[in-house]
Amino acid sequence: MLKKRALRKIFISLSCIIIVGILYIFPDKNESIKTNITKSNNDNDIIYLIDNNNYISRVSTILTSDTILDKVKEIISILTIGSNNYIREGFTKVIPKNTKLLSLNIQDNLVKLNFSKEFLNVDISNEEKMIEAIVYSLTSINDIKYVSIYVEGEILNKLPKSNKKLNTILDRSIGINKEFNINNINNTTKTTIYYMSKYKDYYYYVPVTKVTNDDISKIEIIIKELSSSKILGTNLISYLNNNTELLSYNETDKTLLLNFNEGILEDINTNNILEEVSYSINLSIQDNYDINEVLYYVNDKIVSTFSLK
C-alpha cells in the first residue's frame, strides 16, 4: 500500500513538472496577444487628419521610421492623397495628390519642407486645414517645434488660393479648427482646447482654437469651455461635469497646480478623475503652456499628478 502511494506521488509530481514545462515552452496564446496589443498601444504616434465632421483631428498611428528625418518623410507621405499609407476609416488626407517632398532639412527644432508645385493645387476650403495638419503632425515629434514650407524652392508666405498671409516660420500658435467669438480685433486671446469625438468604435481628440476677447487666463477658458453645456449640440464631447469649478491655480517651476471643487471627480468617495477628463485638460494645457507637470487638487488636497513630457 505504501509503495503504491509513493509511486502515485511520484507520478503526480512528474506530471506537474511536464505540464509546467509545456506551458513554459508554449505560452498561452491569449497572453501573447495581450502582450502584442500592449506593445502596439505603447508604440502609437500621432498625426492630424480631417475627420467625418470636417475637423482636423488627432489620430493615433504607428510610424515605422526610427530617425526624426525619416519620421517627417513618413508623416508627409501619410498626409498625401493617393499615397499607399494606411489611415483609419472615417478620416481623409490633406496634401494634394501627386505632391512630392523634394527636400527637407532639420536644424534647431525647425523643419524646412520643400514641396513640388502640386502642393498649390489644394482646394480653397482645405488650404488652411492642410497647413494646420502639417504643422500639428510634425510638431508631435519630439524635438520639432517649428515648420517652414517651401514650394519649388520658394518660401510659402501666403495660402495658395486665398492669398491670406502666412508666417514663414510656423508653430502651434497658428491655431487649429479656429472658432471666433470676438467683438474687436484688438486684445484677442487664442486658446486651444481638446474635445473628444467618435467614429464608430474609435474615440479620438479634436483640438479647437477659440479666438476671443476674454480677459481671463487660458486655463480658466479651458475649464469653462470643457464644462460648458454649449457643446452638447455638436459632434464634440467633453466628460467634464458642468458643475466643475476651478477654485484656484498657480504656475511655478514648469508645474501647474489646479485646485477644483468636487465637480471634477468621477466619484467623490474614491477621489478619481475620469481619464477622458484629465486627457482633455492635459492636452489643452500642453498646447497653451510651457509646462512639464500638472498637479490636480480637490479642495486643497492633492488627488492626481500628471507628467506632460
Residue found under cell 464608430: 200
Q: Is the pLDDT assigned to residue 6 strictly greater than 80?
A: no
Report DSSP state, residue 109: T
33 forms beta bridges with none
Pairwise CA distance, residues 299 & 296, whole Å: 10
**In the chain, what percentage of residues exceed pLDDT 90?**
78
pLDDT at 290: 94
Model pTM score: 0.84
| Residue 296 φ then ψ, to 5° | -105, 125
Q: Is the pLDDT assigned to residue 40 strictly greater than 50?
A: no
Q: 233 pLDDT band (50/70/90 cuts)?
A: low
Pairwise CA distance, residues 245 & 176, whole Å: 26
**Poorest-confidence range of 38-42, 80-84, 197-201, 280-284?**
38-42
Q: Is the pLDDT assigned to residue 254 strictly greater than 80?
A: yes
3-state secondary structure of 105: strand
**In the chain, what percentage of residues exceed pLDDT 70?**
85
Q: Is the pLDDT assigned to residue 27 strictly greater than 70?
A: no
**Do 176 and 205 touch, CB atoms closer than 8 A?**
no
3 compared with 117, residue with greater pLDDT: 117
